[in-house]
Amino acid sequence: MMKKFVVLLCLTFLLFIPDYAFASFSKEQSIEEKVIYLKSEITETNKIIDRAVNGETDVKNIYFDVLPSIQKLSSIPISNLFNKEEFEVFLTTQKLKQTQSSEGVITTEYVTNAVVTYQDKSSGNIVDPSSTVRGVVSIRWQEKFENSKMYFKLYSTSGSWTLQDSTFNLSNRKVTYGQVGLEACIYNDCNSTSNLTSNSFTKYAPSSWRWLSKNTNASSLSSTTSVNVNRGTSTFVFRIQVIKHGLGI
C-alpha cells in the first residue's frame, strides 16, 4: 500500500511541473558542439618569446594595445644605468579551439601573448645588457558569433617576469584583470586584482562574467601587471597594460 502511495505522489508531482521546464531541459540536451579546430597552447616562456620576436602568429588581423611604462620610486638620484627608457614590444596570437553548435553558434578561443623588454640606454648605446627586465602578459579570450552578432569575453590571464642580473630583485608583484561593456560589466564589477608571490602566474576569470558585444569600442578586455625592480637603493615599477577593444577586430 505504501509503494502505491509513493508512486501516486510522484505522478502527481510531475503533473504540476510546468511544460517550459521540460522544454528547457530538452533544448539543453539537444544542443551539441562540434569541434572543428583544436591546438595545444604554447605555454613555455622561451617559445612564446621566440614566436613573438620572430613575428610568428596564427592570426594576423587581431589587434591589442600594449602600454608599457616605468615609474621611478627612489628619492635618491638614479645612476646612468636608468638614464633613458627603451621598450621593445612584440605580440603573437595562438588560435586554440573552434566549435560550432547544432544551432550554428561558432565559438573560437585564442590566447594573445605580449612580450615587453625594458632596457636603459645612454647616448644610444646599451649601458648594461644584463639590466634587461622582460615581462610576458598573456590574455586568453573567447569570441562568439551568434545571431549575426559578435561577442567576446575574458577566459584567463597569465604572465611572467625575467631578470638576467642577480644584483636585481623583484617585489610587489601584482596583476589586475577584467572586462567592461555596455550591456554587462558596466560598474567595474568584472574586475579582479591579485598580489603575487612568484615570478609567474595564471588567473582565471569567473564564469559569471558575461559575454560582451564586440560591436562597440566601449567594450574591452584587459590585463595589467606591475612589479617593483630593485637594485640597492634604486627602485622602479615596471608596468605592462594589455587591452583588447571590441572594434579592434
221, part of any domain: yes
21, part of any domain: no
Determine contact, residues 157/137, Cβ cutoff 8 Å: yes
Indicate whether 179 pLDDT > 50: yes
> What pLDDT, in 10s, does the model give residues 113-127?
999 998 765 444 444
24, part of any domain: no
The arithmetic mean of pLDDT across residues 151-176, rounded, is 92
6, part of any domain: no
Indicate whether 94 pLDDT > 50: yes
* Residue 149: per-residue pLDDT: 92
Determine contact, residues 219/151, Cβ cutoff 8 Å: no
Whole-angstrom distance, CA of residue 137 vs CA of residue 241: 8
The arithmetic mean of pLDDT across residues 23-48, rounded, is 79
Domain count, the chain: 1
Indicate whether 77 pLDDT > 70: no
Q: Write out the residue range of the structural domain in which residue 157 sits.
A: 32-245
7, part of any domain: no
Least-confidence region, from 42-46, 74-78, 142-146, 218-222: 74-78
192, part of any domain: yes
The arithmetic mean of pLDDT across residues 151-180, rounded, is 93
190, part of any domain: yes
> What pLDDT, in 10s, does the model give residues 208-243?
999 999 988 889 999 999 999 988 888 889 999 999
What is the widest separation between alpha-carbon atoms in the chain? 97
Model confidence band, residue 21 (pLDDT cutoffs 50, 70, 90): very low
State which amino acid sits at residue 14: L
More confident residue, 163 or 78: 163
Model confidence band, residue 75 (pLDDT cutoffs 50, 70, 90): low
The grid coordinates listed for 120 are 636603459
* Residue 70: per-residue pLDDT: 87
Model confidence band, residue 27 (pLDDT cutoffs 50, 70, 90): very low
**What's the per-residue H, E or C state across the chain?**
CHHHHHHHHHHHHHHCCCHHHHHHHHHHHHCCEEEEEECCCCCCHHHHHHHHHCCCCCCCCCCCEEEEEEEECCCCCCCHHHCECCEEEEEEEEEEEEEEECCCCEEEEEEEEEEEEECCEECCEECCHHHCEEEEEEEEEEEEEECCEEEEEEEEEEEEEEECCCCCEEEEEEEEEEEECCCCCCCCCCEEEEEECCCEEEEECCCCCCCEECCCCCCEEEEEEEEEEEECCEEEEEEEEEEEECCCC
120, part of any domain: yes
Q: Which pTM does this prediction carry?
A: 0.80
More confident residue, 83 or 65: 65
